[in-house]
Amino acid sequence: MSTIDSLPPLREVIATHDLSAKKALGQNFLLDLNLTAKIARTAGDLTGFDVLEVGPGPGGLTRGLLAEGARRVVAVEKDARCLPALAQIAAAYPGRLEVLNADALALDWAAHLTPPIKIVANLPYNVGTELLVRWLTPSGWPPQWQSLTLMFQREVADRIVARPGSKAYGRLAILAQWRCEARIAMTLPPEAFTPAPKVHSAVVHLTALPAPRFPADQAVLERVVAKAFNQRRKMLRAALKGLAPDIEDRIVAAGLTPTDRAEQVPIEGFCALARAVAG
Ligand code: SAM
């Protein structure tokens, strides 16, 4: 599908609506429409999907999502200064863009979309991890979304896709990979954004699996993982002390070695541990 629309270039949009970037809102805009179209394509086929976008800003990615064929885009933007620019996009794609002037952290987003749903966003860095954790921990599984295509700081992206044995491996990797396929789809240098942030960025693509890879109670697993990585240098038997009576026996029952460190334990091991702690 064509990525060309009849709307003005984004630099012009920013000048017309005086959208000087606000650091407190994590505003680092993407002004290259070829790049925003490429990010939209990373989300796969959008035809027939409702797409949730958090933080559309001046609407570069929004335009990409609509041009790539999203059935409907629901864009949640906290900064009211962006609304006129987004209204212009809504007028160019009648009936396909709904803009909500709201804080994404305070919104019941699912109430505004009809499945099937994909979530695509160049997230504000200050709330990106919080939103990801919420999307990864709904009350039931599979979640209401089929995939997440999200821009993060490179360091956060590395933590999401990290494998056991690496420094980046921890809570985010386990939460993400327990029930999703997760990969880095694209990396971007600071100059890709206006203004340029200090750090490199990456687009992570997560696809929800129909069921968790290994059985475990979500709340127990989260508790075990949080405690194990709270002092990641400690051996499991010390790090998990106080989590349950006879913790060393439970570690062994889970097929793990009490002298292992959290960093070495694969997701399967943490799930076994969660079952042993719950049992
Ligand atoms: N999507 C645009 C792009 O790629 O150029 C802008 C991305 S910018 C990194 C993040 C956007 O999120 C900004 O427009 C900012 O105003 C918005 N934002 C920040 N905090 C938000 C929140 N809590 N809820 C909704 N939008 C938020």
Give 191-245 pLDDT, tens digit per residue: 999 999 999 999 999 999 999 999 999 999 999 999 999 988 899 999 999 999 9
Q: What is the dihedral of CA 149, 155, 156, 159, to 10 degrees?
A: 100
Annotated binding-site residue? 55: yes
Tell me the mean pLDDT in the region 133-142. Answer: 96
Residue 202: strand pairing partners: 152, 187
* Exposure of 109 in the CB half-sphere (CA atoms within 13 A): 28
Best residue among 10, 39, 53, 78 to mutate for probing ligand 1, ranked by most atoms within 8 Å of CB: 78
From atom 1 of ligand 1, which residue's Cα is the shortest distance away?
56
* Mean pLDDT over the full length of the chain: 96
Angle at 19 between CA 91 and CA 193, to 5 degrees: 100
Task: Check if the beta carbon of residue 190 is closer than 8 Å to that of residue 197.
Answer: yes
Identify residue 148 by its one-letter amino acid code. L
Mean pLDDT, rounded, for 124-140: 95
- Work out which ligand 1 atom sits closest to the CA atom of 121: 1
Tell me, yes or no, if the two domains 10-208 and 218-278 fold the same way. no
Distance 273 CA to ligand 1 centre (A): 38
- Ligand 1 center to residue 28 CA distance, Å? 8
**What pLDDT does 6 receive?**
86
pLDDT range class, residue 149, cuts 50, 70, 90: very high
Report the pLDDT averaged over residues 103-123. Answer: 97
Rounded Cα gap, residues 45 and 251, in angstroms: 44
Is residue 25 in contact with ligand 1, taking CB distance under 6 Å? yes
Mean pLDDT over 36-62 rounds to 98
> What is the atom index within ligand 1 of the atom nearest the CA of 126?
20
Please, which pLDDT band fits residue 3 given cuts at 50, 70 and 90? very low
Q: What is the pLDDT of residue 279?
A: 82
What average pLDDT does range 49-78 have in this prediction?
98
Class of domain 218-278: mainly alpha
Domain boundaries, the chain: 10-208, 218-278
- What pLDDT does residue 166 have? 96
- pTM for this predicted structure: 0.96
Q: At a CB cut-off of 8 Å and minimum separation 6, what does 109 contact? A: 52, 74, 76
Residue 4: predicted pLDDT: 56
Fold (CATH) for 10-208? Rossmann fold (3.40.50)
Cα of 246 from ligand 1 centre, angstroms = 47
**pLDDT score at 232:** 86
